[in-house]
Amino acid sequence: MHKNRVLWVATFVLAIGIAGCSGKEAKKAEEEGANSVPVTVEKVGIAEVRTVLTYGADLAPSASIRLLSLITDTILSYPWQSGDEIAKGQIVAVMKTDGIKQGLAQIDAQVTALDVQIANLKSELARARDLQGKGVATQQAVDGLSAQYEATVAQRQALLAGRRQLAVNAGHAVVKAPVDGVLSSKAYEPGDIATPQLPLGTLLVTDPLKMELKLVEKDISMVKVGQSVELRLDAYPDRTFVGTVSRVFPYVEAATRTNTVEVTLPNPRGEDGLRLMKPGMYGVAMLEVGSRENVAVAPESALLLDNKLLAVQKEGENLRRAFVVDADGVAHERTVKLGSRQGSRWEILEGLTEGETIIVRGHHGLTDGDKVRVVEDTAGKDKKSQATVGANAGTGSAPDGAAPAPAAE
């Protein structure tokens, strides 16, 4: 009985000791949790990355044709307005031709009179030569008649040449569209006197359109004629248009050190029947020039700007700070060298590797070695994803590519 009582007392004391130790450990863990920084983390992923050059430029008509009246006269008909579509072969304007018709009539009358005069001179010249053979007429008389005859014939030929030109001008009284296009800059109305010095208007060819990209020297070798180009416009944020590199200029502009690349873009019609793209719209062209697999990528929210790194980074470098969390919940600061940006993620060149856990929220006040507490894990697990990386921002701002979405487990 005594032994049982001693055993019970010993057991009770041991239980109290264990409970005391557990309480201390729980209190210690609670204190450590209170002193740790709550953070959100994600794992460094990998992606198949397309290298894309992005350049901004204005859309332009593939051709701008000035519509000229080659005669100076009054406009009888000009029914079009700026913005109207005109088909090839349609009559744009008709000029008055009364003056031309009067000129043709005058020439015809003069030619008729000359024909009579020529016939008479021809008869006189034949008679003079006959008389010269009989010794009655002199050579001087014959030469005089011959010269007069030739001069009259030449005068007739000159009149006929003038008549042909007037007939051509009469044909120019009707101005037709040489191509399909949209009328721009209409300069006259019916009743105005058109002159060859001022165009009736300009015909813009809007299908296809073109845009000229100004490539920096390091990108020139990556672009070839026939290469596909994707285009995005602010007017159609959910739509991508596709064009083709139609020309690479054979020289670099000395002032800007850029090479002009011309892109041709088919211009489809919308539901209202009008062309979707308009000359003058600003667009961002994207040219895929290569792809790489198994590239480490990290969300932009994990990468912190640092003035010290900005001060020491070399030209062309992009350095950031990031924090990696180890298995013990300790944050370790890393210097990360970035490659190309794509959407909300960046290509990682140095400093992070696939599968490492990085802090994406709660790290702005951290220092190396701080204890952290993970409150949310948005990591996409270490699965492979696809991404589009813009290799160059070009001459204009470009929309970011879609961020690589982690594959489902």
CA distance 123 to 120: 5
Residues of the chain with pLDDT under 50: 1, 6-16, 19, 21, 26, 28-29, 380-409
Where a domain ends, among 151, 172, 193?
172
Residues 6+ apart with CB under 8 A from 284: 54, 55, 56, 231, 232, 233, 396, 397, 398, 399
Per the domain annotation, does 231 fall within a domain?
Answer: no
Considering the domain architecture, whether residues 47 and 118 belong to the same structural domain is answered as no
Residue 156 confidence (pLDDT)? 92
In a domain, 226, yes or no: no
Q: What is the 3-state secondary structure (H, E, C) of 305-355?
A: CCHHHHHHCCCCCCEEEEEEECCCCEEEEEEEEEEEEECCEEEEEECCCCC
Domain contains 23: no
Q: What was the pLDDT predicted at 143?
A: 87
Same domain, yes or no: 42 and 106: no
Are 352 and 298 in the same domain?
yes
Q: Is residue 245 part of a domain?
A: no
Digit-coded pLDDT (tens) for 172-225: 899 999 999 999 999 999 999 999 999 999 999 999 999 999 999 999 999 999
For residue 349, what pLDDT is reported?
94
**For residue 208, cis peptide bond before it (omega within 30 degrees of 0):** yes
* Residue 241 CB partners (closer than 8 Å, separation 6+): 230, 231, 232, 233, 265, 266, 276, 277, 283
244, part of any domain: no
- Indicate if 301 and 383 belong to the same structural domain: yes
Question: Domain span at residue 338?
Answer: 36-55+292-392
Q: Is the pTM of this model over 0.85?
A: no
Domain check: are 367 and 301 in the same one? yes
pLDDT, position 4: 52
Q: How far is CA 183 from CA 164, 180, 204, 292, in A?
A: 32, 10, 6, 47
Please give the pLDDT value at position 342. 74
301 and 372 housed in the same domain: yes
Same domain, 44 and 120: no
Question: Is residue 129, in this structure, part of any structural domain at all?
Answer: yes
CATH number at residue 306: 2.40.420.20
Contact 57, 211 (CB under 8 A): yes
Total number of domains in the chain:
2
- Tell which of 172, 190, 225 closes a domain: 172
**Could you tell me if 301 and 388 lie in one domain?**
yes
Residue 353 located in a structural domain: yes
Domain contains 120: yes
Looking at residue 31, its pLDDT comes to 53
Question: Of 121, 141, 172, which residue sits at a domain end?
Answer: 172
Q: Are residues 51 and 123 in the same domain?
A: no
